[in-house]
Amino acid sequence: EDPRPALPAAAAGRLAALLAERSGGTGGGRRGSSPDLMELLPQWLAAANGHGYAAPAQALPALLDAARGRTDLRPAALAFAGPRALWLARFNPDWRFALRSAPGGDAALPDPGDAQAIRRLWEEGLFAERVALLGALRARSPEFARELLAGTWPTERAEDRLMFLDSLRAGLSAADEPFLEKALGDRSRNVRATAAELLSALPGSALAARMAVRATACVALDRSGDGPVIVVEAPHECDSGMERDGVVATPPAGRGERSWWLGQLVEAAPLGTWPGRLGGRDPREIVALPVTDGWQGELHAAWCRAAVRQRDARWSR
């Protein structure tokens, strides 16, 4: 039994309308796009929990279905649903996430060999469980982890996509490139930027090659004077291709546009590009070359950032 006071009739009617709106919305996907559910149900649950009301028994199945479909709703939905929801969850495999979320529930990750249990946790688990699962899988089976993420990627929220994408840093390899290239077209700017950063950490990626072309168009060796010097012609615009590849068009306050764009291009270009571009010199010889027109600080800072991103010890010295 639930000892909390019953929900007032008017509030119960509103809850029924919200849950009915969800069931009639987008076909019961993991994260429906119904405006009422997306915008009003979280607020409604927060208010109901704030007053300490118990969920109506007849609303529990729909409430559990809603929580199953949206992991971000689960803490508030399960708090409102109360102990009767946990009892119901024992009879429906689709609601087992409620048992894992309860105090003392089974929060352990599935056995590595149990692909079905892994998929169920990925599709139904709480956000924190899913992040932990993805991280654990990347450590032992990067391909399987990427396959899981790709399978639900279109339905994930932008903030969740960003966190999941960041988990690919562990075990990052050329095999991740096709997935990351697709993420460059994501509707979230932060997701696009993270995908571009990860791709630029793969010197053999297509993005790294594109950045190398752009960067070498800006930086060259001039031998016409008394000695060789590096000359810089920073970009005059940030085109759509640059933005797709992760270049942020708008600089921070007090920073010039051209220097801002140049730094991003050089940082993302493979460091292996520069010896051939700058007369066959090694990194130590390259950084010893004079740079014209006051560009030395910007250029050297970008090379330093590239050395960290690409984990290149020779350029880090």
3-state DSSP: the chain helix, strand, coil percent, rounded to 5?
65, 5, 30
Beta bridge partners of 219: 232
Summarised one tens digit per residue, pLDDT across range 197-227 is 999 989 899 999 999 999 999 999 999 989 9
User: Which amino acid would we find at residue 306?
Assistant: A
Summarised one tens digit per residue, pLDDT across range 47-92 is 998 999 999 999 999 999 888 877 667 888 888 988 888 888 878 8
Three-state DSSP class for 57?
helix
Distance CA 65, CA 204 (A): 45
Residue spans of the domains in the chain: they are: 9-101, 115-200, 206-316
Beta bridge partners of 221: 230
Q: 132: pLDDT confidence band, cut at 50, 70 and 90?
A: confident
Distance CA 167, CA 156 (A): 15
Three-state DSSP class for 221?
strand
pLDDT at 105 over 60: no
Choice among 78-82, 104-108, 257-261 with the minimum mean pLDDT: 104-108
Question: Which residue shows structure tokens 């609303």?
Answer: 59
In angstroms, how far is CA 298 from the centroid of its own chain?
A: 29
Region 258-276: what's the mean pLDDT? 96
Let me know: does 60 contact 88? Beta carbons within 8 Å. Answer: yes
Q: 32: pLDDT confidence band, cut at 50, 70 and 90?
A: very low
Region 32-56: what's the mean pLDDT? 74
pLDDT at 249 over 90: yes
Distance CA 296, CA 287 (A): 9
Residues 6+ apart with CB under 8 A from 54: 2, 3, 4, 5, 6, 7, 82
Distances 57 to 7, 36, 61, 63, 134 between C-alpha atoms, Å? 10, 22, 8, 10, 35
Distance CA 216, CA 231 (A): 11
CA dihedral 84, 89, 95, 99 (to 10 degrees): 90
Let me know: does 202 contact 174? Beta carbons within 8 Å. Answer: yes
Q: Would the pTM of this model clear 0.85, i.e. be above it?
A: no
CA dihedral 308, 313, 316, 317 (to 10 degrees): 170
Distance CA 298, CA 317 (A): 18
Choice among 71-85, 87-101, 261-275 with the minimum mean pLDDT: 87-101
pLDDT reported for residue 253: 93
pLDDT at 303 over 90: yes
pLDDT at 271 over 80: yes
Beta strands in 116-228, from DSSP E residues, in sequence order: 219-222
Q: 101: pLDDT confidence band, cut at 50, 70 and 90?
A: low
Choice among 33-47, 169-183, 194-208, 284-298 with the minimum mean pLDDT: 33-47
